[in-house]
Structure 1
Amino acid sequence: MSLEIKAVIFDVDGLLLDTESLYLQVDQSLVNDYSKEPRKITSRERKLYVGTTQQHSMKVIIEEFGLPLTIEEAIEIRAERLQKVFPTCKEMPGARKLVEHLFKNKIPIATATSSSRRDMELKLQNHQWIYDSMGKNMVCGDDITNHKPNPEIFLLAASKLNIDPQYCLVFEDSINGIKAGINAGMNTIHVPSGEDQRDTSLKSSEMIDSIEDFVPEKYTLLPYEKNLN
């Protein structure tokens, strides 16, 4: 693996934006409303579907909780509920600082998210900084055939940036996302969005608790400017 970083690729959900809590809120509402024996979604169950497609996510929830819904019905109900809360999502600590630092220093950057472009538009309503810095290099779930942990989404992002994968640094919060980055032959920073997404057996370049803990110069990137005030 190369340590000379020429481009950075970001996941969005749970990494740049705090949307995972919104997904959990809506998924729990499905269980509460449709399960004959509703209970709290556990970390084990979340680990089965976080970072995957909505089809797989709903398949897991339907099977685990015995919901009397088809996958298509569950997706439709979930989508309606999510679209109401997506515009309320907040940025993750340190995310904007890092993105704007890289953009200012002309480091090629992109997003690679499993979310649909329609959902991304809702999530980014109050986050113009993401559009300003990466709007032209945004890869969404609609753009690919094979989803994480398949590397297709990261390879497409690298292609958009015209950078060889070995010189790319991926930021991911999910286990499936980190696997996808590794499978793409990229350097990876794992920032787990929860204990259920923490796996020390993964061969990521580094695991940190928050983007705020990232040190750019460790990866041949320019350091943050020091505040002299």
Structure 2
Amino acid sequence: MSFKQVTHVLFDLDGLLLDSEGMYTETFSTVCSKYEKEFTWELKSSILGFQGQECADKIIAALDLPITREEFMAECHKINEVLFPKVQLMPGAHKLVEHLYKKGVPIAMATSSSEDSVKMKTQNHKDFLKFFHHITMGTSDPEVTKGKPDPAIFLVCASRFPDKPKPENCLVFEDAVNGVKAACAANMQVVVIPDPRIPPEDLKEATLVLKSLEEFQPELFGLPPYDK
């Protein structure tokens, strides 16, 4: 398998760099169960990668919850304030991001989360955030007009590097089907580390599918290899 060389790297956050997807499941399940509804994997898999308000709208509609978007998000926020500070980095995340940073590869983060949510989740990982040139946060960024699978977030994120790389010179790391679709729509190569429950046929657009960030070999995309 041959891949095109890249110069810049964009990372998703939830479920890719941070082990936060289980926390989202816990939060949504807790809120839904208050109204005697079940937050299923089928519903979760359909909203992976969406912006916060889109997730709220979809869950409320799918389960016919008797609350508004604002009420749903406020209830989630209360639970997240307790859960999010405990979130850990995913295996291989620190090693890869630090490696690219030290080798001078421009890296940025493109997350559907809001600024408030990112702050909560990364409050104990501030040193890790320093490796990123910038962070584009879809839910609270006025330039990101639509959530994934729309390519907007990746195109906006890439445009904020000082040298404004072409989309085809960017490599995206994702964990969700909507993220893969967004990267492909942006004309970027995409490495996906999916939830094992996602059917392989849903990931066929991905450039490369891995089980963990620890498996990634930077040199496949013309990036500096790890030191021996």
Specify if TM > 0.5. Answer: yes
Runs of 4+ in 1 over 3 A off after TM superposition: 196-202
Residues 46, 196 of structure 1: 8 Å contact kept? no
Q: SS state of the match for residue 195, structure 1? A: coil
Residues 111, 157 of structure 1: 8 Å contact kept? yes
1:116 aligns with 2:78: no
1:78 aligns with 2:76: yes
Q: SS state of the match for residue 111, structure 1? A: strand
CA–CA separation in structure 2 for the residues paired with 1:211 and 1:90: 14
> 1:25 — aligned with what?
26
1:139 aligns with 2:136: yes
Q: TM-score, normalised by structure 2?
A: 0.91
Where do residues 1-229 of structure 1 align in structure 2 (5 Å cutoff)? Answer: 3-35=4-36, 38-39=37-38, 41-134=39-132, 136-141=133-138, 142-143=140-141, 144-161=144-161, 162-196=164-198, 199-226=201-228
Q: SS state of the match for residue 188, structure 1? A: strand
Counterpart residue type for residue 107 of structure 1: V
**Greater Cα shift, 190-199 or 65-74:** 190-199
Residues 178, 188 of structure 1: 8 Å contact kept? yes
Q: Report % sequence identity.
A: 36
- RMSD of aligned Cα (Å): 1.7
Residue 189 of structure 1: CA displacement? 0.4
Structure 2 portions without partners, runs of 5+? none
Q: TM-score, normalised by structure 1?
A: 0.91
Structure 1 portions without partners, runs of 5+? none
CA–CA separation in structure 2 for the residues paired with 1:82 and 1:32: 16
Counterpart residue type for residue 109 of structure 2: T
CA–CA separation in structure 1 for the residues paired with 2:10 and 2:129: 14
Q: SS state of the match for residue 131, structure 2? A: helix
Residues 2, 167 of structure 1: 8 Å contact kept? no
Counterpart residue type for residue 55 of structure 1: Q
